[in-house]
Structure 1
Amino acid sequence: MEGLVNRLATLRERLEPGMDRREFLRTLATGGYAVGLAHFLGVEDFLAADDGEVPVVTALVREDPDDPSSLVERTRSVPAEWYAAVEKALELNELMARVAFTGYLGSAVVPGEYSSGAASVSVGISTEGQSIPEMIEEFAGEVSIDTERIIRVESIDDDPGFAEPRAVDDLSGGDAPSGFVCETPSSMATLAPALYHPEADGPFFVTAEHAFKGTSNPEGDLLRLPTESGETFDLGNVAHVHPVEDIVAAEPSGQVRPSSRIAGRSSVRVRGQYTRFGLADLIARGEELEKVGALTGHTVGQIQGIDAVTCFTDDFCRRGQIRWGGEMDLTDGDSGSVSFHPDPAGEEDDVLVAGFNNARTWWPGQSYVWGVSAYKLTDEYGYHF
C-alpha cells in the first residue's frame, strides 16, 4: 500500500491542468503506468481543460419535471487548480478510510473557495488513537489535514420537548408530500420525497431505517401516514432495506401516491439531485442547504463536508455522507427528511436534493447533521429523485 501511495503522489506532482493529451500520455508512460490508470487518478477531465477551467457534472436534473426518467447531466466549468485540489482531497479521504488507522473515527472533504484553489480533509480521531500515519501525511502533499480528537460517548435520545409532529392536512389530490411525519410499527420519522429506480414500475415511499426499532429486518413492515384529522393511511410495505445507508423503500399500497413535493413554509418540487462535485461547487460558492423535518420544520445551514466517512456509531463505517448545518437542525422524528438547495436553472419552486438526514452529532466539539448523499444511493443502488 505504501509503495502505491508514494508512486501516485509522485505522478500527481507531474500532472498539470491544461496539459494536452500527448504530454499526459507521455507522463504516464515515463512513469510506468497504464493509460487506464487515468480514470483512477481522477485526471481525465484535465485533458478537457481550457483556459484553466475544467467541466464537471454538478447535477442530474429532469428535463421534463413530470418525467423522472428524463434525467440529464448538468455541467459547470470550474477552475482547474481547484478541481485538482478537490480530487486530491477525495483520494486522500478514500485512502484514510481504506487504511483505517488506529483511532480513525471518520473524515470528510472540505473544498475551499474557487479563488483559493485548495481543499482540506477534516479527520476525527479518538482520544486513544494515534496521530495521522506518516505515509498518509506524505501523500497529502499540499492538502491540509485538520485533525480533531473526539471523546467517545454513548448515543443519546433527543428530547423534542413540546414540539408536535407535523401531520399532513390535505390528501385530496392523492399525493403524500414529504416533510410530514410517517409512522412505523414502533416509532415515527419524516417522509422523504418520492425515490425512483430504473428497474421499478413506479416511485417508492422512503424514510429512515432506524425508525423501525426492535426488528433486525423491517422488510415487509407497514409504513403509515397519520393526518391532522386523525385518519391514518397505509403508504405501503417495506420492500428494500439498506441499513448501512439507513434508508428503507416501501412499495405504494395504492391508497396514496409518493410525491416529489416537499411541504415546508411553501411547497417546493424536487427536480433532481446534486452530484459529488455539485456539492463541492455549493461549498465553494458559500451556498447553504435546507431541510423540512416533521419535528423541527424548516431549517437552513452551511455545508461542512462532503464524501464523508462516519464510523462513530456502529461497528462499520458509513461512506458517501454529507455534513451540514448544526446539531439543532435535527431531532428525533426528523430522520428521513432530505437536505436540498434551490435549482439555479429551474423554475422558482424547483429544488435539487443533496442527501438524506439520518442523525446529528452528540459528541463534544462538533455540531452538524449527517446522512447519506443522493449521489451515493445512485452510484450504489441506482436510486434517483
Structure 2
Amino acid sequence: MEGTHTEHLVHRIATLRDRLDAGMDRREFLRTLATGGYALGVAQFLGVDDFLAADDGEVPIVTAFVRSDPEDPLSLEERTRYVPAEWYAAVEKALEINELLAQRAFTGYLGSAVVPGSYESGSASISVGIDSGADSLRETFDGLLDGVSFNIETIVDIEDLEEGPDDFDPRILGSISGGSVPGGVACETSGSIATLGPVLYDPDGDQQLFVTAEHAFEGGAEPDSDQLSLPLQEADTVELGTVEHSHPVEDIVTVAPGGQIEPSTALDTPSPTRVRGQLTRYGLADLIARGENLEKVGAVTGHTTGKIQGIDAVTCFTDDFCRRGQIRWGGEMDLTDGDSGSVSYYDDPVGADEDVLVAGFNNARTWWPGQSYVWGVGAYRMTEMYGYHF
C-alpha cells in the first residue's frame, strides 16, 4: 500500500508541475496546494521555490549557465530570470510543435524555427520554409500548428549554392602568447581554413578541447587521424592536435591539445573578451523578447553584430539529413568562407566587463533570395547531446 500511495503522490506532483509550466499563477498554485492536501514544503520537492518568489503571472526560467570561478570548468551555476507566464506558455507550445514538424519530416519541408514574441505580446510564432513544389503543405501545417501563428516562406533554387570569394585574407594570429590560443582566429586543416572557437570543456570538465567546424575537413574529419593546425604570421604553422570527436550533423569537431599549446577562454575581439559560460534555449528566447543582439568574431569577416531571428531551428538545406537545435541570427554578410567554427556570443550582464556568454557556433549562411541569416548549432544543443560546455 505504501508503494501505491507514493506512486500516486508522484503522479499528482508531476501533474501539478505540468500545470505550473502551462502558466498557472502563484495564487492558483497556493490554492491547489491547500485544497489538494499538500504541505507547502512540496514546493521544494517540485523545484519551484523561485516560482513562489515571483510576482503573480510570472514564472522563472534558466537563462544561462555561468562559471562562478572563471578558472573552474565545474563551477557552473544557473542564471535565472522571471518572465510572464503567458509568454512562457506560448514559447513552450511553439517549441513542442516545431519539434513535431521535424519529426514528421514532410516531403518539401526545408526547415523551421521558433520566433518568440516580445514579453508584452505574450506570443511566439513558427517560421517554416518549404520547397517551391510543396505548396500543398500549407494546408497541412495550418491544421497541425494548433493555433500557433506561423509564417510559411517558399524557398527556390535551394540547390544552387553560391561559392564564396575566390580570394580572402583571413585574420592570422601574429604569435602565441602565454601558451594558449584565443578563439576567433584562423585555424587550418589539410585542405581548408576555418575559425577556431574558444575552449570547449568535455562533460567531466577535466579536458580542455580545441573546436572548429567539421566541414573544414575535406571528406569529413577522421578521429585519431586528421590534424588541426594554427597558421602564424611570425613563424611556421603549429600543430594544435588530433581530431578527437567528429560530429558531422552538428558540424563541429573537437581536438585534443597535442602539445604545450592550449585553447583559451579569450576571444580575439576589438576589446578584451573572456567566455564565462553559455546561454540556454530560454536565454536566447529572452534575448529575442527584449530585442537584443548577438556578436561574433570570425577569421575573415571579423567582428559583427545582428538580431536573433529564430531558435531551436531545424535546417534541411544542405544534406540528406536535418540539423536541429540551430540558431538563426544576423544576416548573410555576417559569415563567409573561413568564418565557420566561430561562436556567436552575448555580453554577460552580471559579470565583469570582459565576460561574455556563448550562444552557439556559426557554420553556414543563407544563399537564396528572400532570407538572410547565419545558422549554426546552439551551445545548449551540444550540452544536451554530448555534455560539452563553455
Q: Does 1:246 align with 2:255?
A: no
Tell me if structure 1 keeps the 8 A contact 2:221–2:253. Answer: no
What corresponds to 1:109 in structure 2? 114
What corresponds to 1:20 in structure 2? 29
Q: Does 1:97 align with 2:102?
A: yes
In the alignment, residue 263 of structure 1 is paired with which amino acid? D
Deviations 1:289-308 (A, max 9, x none): 00000000000000000000
Cα deviation for residue 254 of structure 1 reads 1.6
Counterpart Cα distance in 1 of 2:274 and 2:207: 18
- Structure 1 stretch 196-205 or stretch 285-294: which is displaced more? 196-205
Tell me if structure 2 keeps the 8 A contact 1:153–1:363. Answer: no
Cα deviation for residue 132 of structure 1 reads 3.8
Deviations 1:112-146 (A, max 9, x none): 11000000000000011144465653453442110
Tell me if structure 1 keeps the 8 A contact 2:359–2:379. Answer: yes
Of residues 365, 370, 373, the one that matches 2:378 is 373
In the alignment, residue 159 of structure 2 is paired with which amino acid? V
Q: Does 1:201 align with 2:206?
A: yes
Q: CA RMSD in A?
A: 2.6
TM-score by length of 1: 0.87
What corresponds to 1:8 in structure 2? none
What corresponds to 1:122 in structure 2? 127
Tell me if structure 2 keeps the 8 A contact 1:222–1:236. Answer: yes
Deviations 1:155-192 (A, max 9, x none): 2321164x411111231211100111000011110000
Q: Which residues in structure 2 correspond to 1:303-322 (within 5 Å)? A: 303-322=308-327
- Structure 1 stretch 116-125 or stretch 139-148: which is displaced more? 139-148
What corresponds to 1:265 in structure 2? 270
Counterpart Cα distance in 2 of 1:261 and 1:369: 22
Structure 2 CA distance for partners of 1:215 and 1:375, relative to 1, 3 Å: closer
Counterpart Cα distance in 1 of 2:101 and 2:188: 38
Structure 2 CA distance for partners of 1:160 and 1:147, relative to 1, 3 Å: same
Equivalent residues, number: 359
Tell me if structure 1 keeps the 8 A contact 2:62–2:283. Answer: yes
Structure 2 CA distance for partners of 1:371 and 1:219, relative to 1, 3 Å: farther
Tell me if structure 2 keeps the 8 A contact 1:212–1:218. Answer: no
2:201 is paired with a residue whose SS is coil
Q: Which residues in structure 2 correspond to 1:1-385 (within 5 Å)? A: 16-18=23-25, 19-20=28-29, 50-132=55-137, 136-151=141-156, 152-159=158-165, 161=167, 163-199=168-204, 201-215=206-220, 217=222, 219-385=224-390
Tell me if structure 1 keeps the 8 A contact 2:73–2:205. Answer: no
Counterpart Cα distance in 1 of 2:94 and 2:379: 20
Tell me if structure 2 keeps the 8 A contact 1:341–1:353. Answer: yes
In the alignment, residue 159 of structure 1 is paired with which amino acid? P
Structure 2 CA distance for partners of 1:146 and 1:261, relative to 1, 3 Å: same
Tell me if structure 2 keeps the 8 A contact 1:17–1:46. Answer: no
Deviations 1:301-329 (A, max 9, x none): 00000000000111000000000000000
Tell me if structure 1 keeps the 8 A contact 2:175–2:234. Answer: no
Counterpart Cα distance in 2 of 1:132 and 1:62: 45
Cα deviation for residue 92 of structure 1 reads 1.1
Counterpart Cα distance in 2 of 1:381 and 1:176: 24
Unaligned runs of 5+ in 1: 1-10, 28-38
Counterpart Cα distance in 2 of 1:86 and 1:138: 19
Counterpart Cα distance in 1 of 2:377 and 2:371: 18
TM-score by length of 2: 0.86
Structure 2 CA distance for partners of 1:358 and 1:76, relative to 1, 3 Å: same
Counterpart Cα distance in 2 of 1:47 and 1:123: 37
Cα deviation for residue 153 of structure 1 reads 2.6
2:282 is paired with a residue whose SS is helix
Structure 2 CA distance for partners of 1:160 and 1:369, relative to 1, 3 Å: farther
1:328 is paired with a residue whose SS is helix
Counterpart Cα distance in 2 of 1:252 and 1:183: 15
Structure 2 CA distance for partners of 1:217 and 1:47, relative to 1, 3 Å: farther
What corresponds to 1:4 in structure 2? none
